[in-house]
């Protein structure tokens, strides 16, 4: 089973930059999108063979997630937990016979970490949600998680130490999650891979110079480890300031 996760930074814009060409070439069973920035009626495109599921933010043109799946899930749930987490279209959960798939666009802590307190609440509540799902069946958790976990996961760790996405608090929440029976699939298969990034600033030709961050993940229940065939990053795919990440399961 081939799964793709991609923060498209506006699906309408990405459609003009080769999104459908990529979908046709990659031939994924499931495609998870983040930051779609639209509602379904605002876009029209052909995607034969896929069931489409959307979650929208209350605020127009903001956030949003989607799952496109060749197999119809057993069930689909949007959002999770408290009301505070249910207004930005950030989570879709699709249930398949042998696992749950959770597509997530994690809130950014924003400049000067002014949204860090909410981010910490989000992380604790989402971790509890993932653990609850994991009691029923294994979990595949993917998306733009807005954190570079270790120094190896971004080009300039020292100068970014207290910036959003690389604060001690955010990194600590990722460590907590991985301590609850989950694994970072890319790091599990490629523990020493350097210069492997999934997001680059539009500033200062960052992508051309590969000055990036790895903030897009496939995280799974540890008991899926033996089923993981491939976990990779696709930096050659443009169309967004993020590139897609890929997971293949037997």
> What was the pLDDT predicted at 223?
98
pLDDT, mean of residues 173-183: 98
pTM of the shown model: 0.97
pLDDT attached to residue 211: 98
pLDDT at 189: 98
Per-residue pLDDT, 80: 98
Q: Which amino acids are annotated catalytic?
A: 105, 144
Instruction: Specify the pLDDT at position 97.
Output: 98
Residues 68-121: pLDDT tens digits?
999 999 999 999 999 999 999 999 999 999 999 999 999 999 999 999 999 999
Question: Residue 163: its pLDDT value, please?
Answer: 96
pLDDT, tens digit (0-9, with 9 covering 90-100), for 8-24 = 999 999 999 999 999 99
- pLDDT score recorded for residue 208: 97
3-state secondary structure of 211: coil
pLDDT of residue 243: 98
Average pLDDT of the chain is: 97
Tokens standing for 109? 């802590």
pLDDT band at 168 (very low <50, low <70, confident <90, very high): very high
pLDDT in tens, 132-164: 999 999 999 999 999 999 999 999 999 999 999
Q: What value does the mean pLDDT take over residues 38-43?
A: 92
Please state, in angstroms and as integers, the Cα–Cα distance from residue 75 to each residue in 4, 87, 131, 191, following that order.
19, 21, 18, 34
Which pLDDT score, from 0 to 100, does residue 230 have? 98
Note the pLDDT of residue 8. Answer: 98
């Amino acid at each position: 089973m081939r799964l793709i996760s991609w923060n498209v930074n506006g699906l309408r814009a990405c459609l003009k930059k080769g999104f459908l060409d990529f979908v046709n070439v990659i031939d994924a069973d499931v495609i998870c999108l983040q930051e779609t920035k639209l509602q379904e009626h605002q876009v029209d495109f052909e995607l034969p063979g896929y069931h489409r599921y959307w979650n929208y933010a209350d605020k127009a043109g903001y956030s949003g997630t989607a799952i496109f799946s060749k197999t119809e899930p057993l069930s689909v749930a949007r959002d999770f937990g408290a009301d505070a987490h249910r207004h930005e279209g950030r989570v879709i959960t699709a249930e398949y016979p042998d696992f749950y798939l959770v597509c997530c666009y994690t809130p950014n802590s924003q400049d000067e970490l002014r949204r860090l307190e909410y981010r910490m609440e989000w992380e604790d509540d989402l971790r509890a949600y993932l653990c609850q799902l994991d009691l029923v069946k294994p979990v595949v958790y993917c998306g733009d998680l807005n954190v570079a976990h270790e120094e190896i996961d971004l080009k300039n760790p020292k100068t970014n130490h207290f910036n959003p996405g690389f604060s001690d608090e955010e990194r600590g929440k990722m460590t907590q999650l991985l301590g609850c029976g989950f694994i970072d699939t890319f790091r599990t298969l490629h523990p020493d891979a350097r210069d492997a990034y999934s997001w680059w600033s539009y500033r200062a030709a960052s992508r051309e110079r590969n000055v990036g961050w790895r903030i897009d993940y496939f995280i799974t229940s540890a008991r899926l480890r033996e089923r993981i065939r491939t976990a990779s990053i696709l930096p050659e795919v443009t169309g967004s300031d993020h590139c897609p990440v890929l997971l293949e399961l037997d």
